[in-house]
Amino acid sequence: MGTVTVTVRDSSGAQGQTGVSYTTQSVGHMLLGASATSNAKKNTTSDLAEYLRLEAITGHPLEIRRTFEAAPTSWAQCKASADVGKRASFVSFKTSPDTMSGPGQEAYWRTLIESVPRGHRVYMTWQHEAENPSKNNDPAKIRAGGVKFAEYVRKYRGDRDISIAWTLMGWTFASEFSKRNPLDWYWGDDSVEVVAPDPYNTSTTKFYSYDATMVGATQAYQFAKAHGKRFGIAEMGNYDLTATNRPKFLTDGMAWLRGLKDPVCEFACWFHSDVPADDAGDYWIDSSAASLAAWVKV
Amino acid sequence: MAAPSVSATLDKTAYAPGELMTLTVTYGDPDSRTLKLTIQVQDTTGGTGATVVTSAVLDSLTLIVTDSDSSRTWTKKSDTGAIAVFTAKA
């Protein structure tokens, strides 16, 4: 807790004074949490019961929950409404890029944003991983839509603790391999507040550490730093190819993230799931005793 | 002499490390007055120079911002004489 004191003094020495308090997350403390899926191979995320089970086996409360919300009309309709008073929220919205500037959009977003409870920390993004080729998005529409989204959030959040996050696949930041340019999908410095990528090790044949250039987390962090943005991990995961890969990925990855300074890594969410639903493995944090033990320690 | 008045608000109540903090200060003093001075110079032959208009504030106000965290520096971004905006890094 800190306090800013403002004093105004006139030429005779008469003065008025006021104070305003604030809290800051301590440097070095990273919110640790997850996105939880319960039904394997069904690509259903944001499962609260599975999140709570994960929390229970972790042995202590998790601090942030990643949810996917489509287009709710109020905070009460969001899955993340269950997080209030318990943990921070990282929320993805997915309204159509074609309609962000259309009639009724500002009123829609105003209602949604103004319904977020004051004092609840929310990282909010729109059209996460928009560059995924399977989504067939038009970069220009995503950029324009992101600018509108940020405009609405800034205009209506008031003193609510809402940060505007921008999420691409970690692989996209690994430009030397992906041949993609993150700037093609960037909403711009005036719109984005937090660079929050989804870096995974999705190789089905080889282990890469979290800071390996193949994963893209390092390049995403460098992007955030270069653009003067805050940083966090919206999703992360890896296949546990040899039952030792995930413990190492987790332990080394979290240590790397916690060691970042200026900007710090504000949060990291493990993607506890079987997504993508292929036969290469899964991202279940408790798929092995070693994986769970590593998770509990981080 | 009346005491100056001041109120202040932060844009948020909680900040992440490195986040921009914005402080808006509204202040005033009923005793403060702005005078408009009109000056014209005349020489001994009666010739006059161009008129100059300027202003001066009587009982001007000084704003001081301090933080309980002495490592935090607040920088003034704007000041209209009634509303001032300061920023700092959390």
| Strands in chain A per DSSP E | 2-9, 15-24, 31-36, 64-68, 88-93, 122-126, 162-166, 194-195, 200-201, 230-238, 265-272
- Distance from the Cα of B46 to chain A's closest Cα (Å) equals 39
Q: Do B60 and A159 touch (CB under 8 A)?
A: no
Element (H, E) at B34: strand B33-39
Dist CA A53 CA B17 (whole Å): 30
Element (H, E) at B35: strand B33-39
Q: For residue A62, give the 3-state DSSP assignment.
A: coil
End-to-end CA distance of chain B: 38
Per-residue pLDDT 10s for chain A (298 aa) are: 789 999 999 888 899 999 999 887 666 689 999 988 766 545 556 789 889 999 999 988 999 999 999 889 999 999 999 999 999 999 999 999 999 988 899 999 999 999 999 989 999 999 999 999 999 999 999 999 999 999 999 999 998 999 999 999 999 999 999 999 999 999 999 999 999 999 998 888 888 989 999 999 999 999 999 999 999 999 999 888 787 888 999 999 999 999 998 899 999 999 998 766 566 778 889 888 999 999 999 8
Report whether B3 contacts A15 (CB < 8 A): yes
Considering only the beta carbons, identify the residue of A3, A263, A264 that sits closest to B68.
A3
The CB density around residue B14, as the number of other CB atoms within 10 Å, is 16
The pairing of strands B62-67 and A2-9 is antiparallel
Considering only the beta carbons, identify the residue of A2, A15, A27 that sits closest to B67.
A2
Dist CA A142 CA A144 (whole Å): 5
The CB density around residue A58, as the number of other CB atoms within 10 Å, is 18
Name the phi and psi angles at A155, rounded to 5.
Answer: -70, -35
The residues pairing with A21 across neighbouring beta strands, listed in sequence order, are: A3
Q: Do A9 and B90 touch (CB under 8 A)?
A: no
pLDDT computed for residue A277 by the predictor: 57
Which residue, among B10, B12, B22, would best test binding to A if mutated, counting the most A CBs under 10 Å from its CB? B12
pLDDT computed for residue A71 by the predictor: 86
Given a cut of 90, whether residue B55 has pLDDT beyond it is no
Confidence label for B6 from pLDDT (cuts 50, 70 and 90): very high
Helical segments of chain A, H only = 48-58, 105-114, 139-156, 170-173, 175-178, 217-226, 245-258, 289-297
pLDDT computed for residue A278 by the predictor: 62
Chains A, B: CB contacts under 8 A, how many? 126
Dist CA A224 CA A264 (whole Å): 10
- Which percentage of chain B shows pLDDT scores above 90? 40
Considering only the beta carbons, identify the residue of A2, A6, A26 that sits closest to B25.
A6
Dist CA A233 CA A198 (whole Å): 6
Considering only the beta carbons, identify the residue of A4, A12, A17 that sits closest to B23.
A4
pLDDT computed for residue A40 by the predictor: 56
The pTM of the full predicted model, rounded to 2 decimals, is 0.78
Q: For residue A88, give the 3-state DSSP assignment.
A: strand
Residue A41 vs residues A35, A44, A244, A277, A282: alpha-carbon distances, Å: 15, 8, 23, 5, 9
Dist CA A95 CA B41 (whole Å): 69
Q: How many residues appear in chain B?
A: 90
Report whether A11 contacts B30 (CB < 8 A): no
A176-192 exposure pattern, b = at least 16 Cβ within 10 A, e = fewer: eebebebeebbbeeebb
List of residues 6+ apart from A186 with CB closer than 8 A = A143, A166, A192
Residues of B whose CB is below 8 A from A230: 16, 18-19
Burial of A127 by CB count in 10 Å (0-12 exposed, 13-18 middle, 19+ buried)?
buried
Report whether A100 contacts A118 (CB < 8 A): no
Q: Do B59 and A11 touch (CB under 8 A)?
A: yes
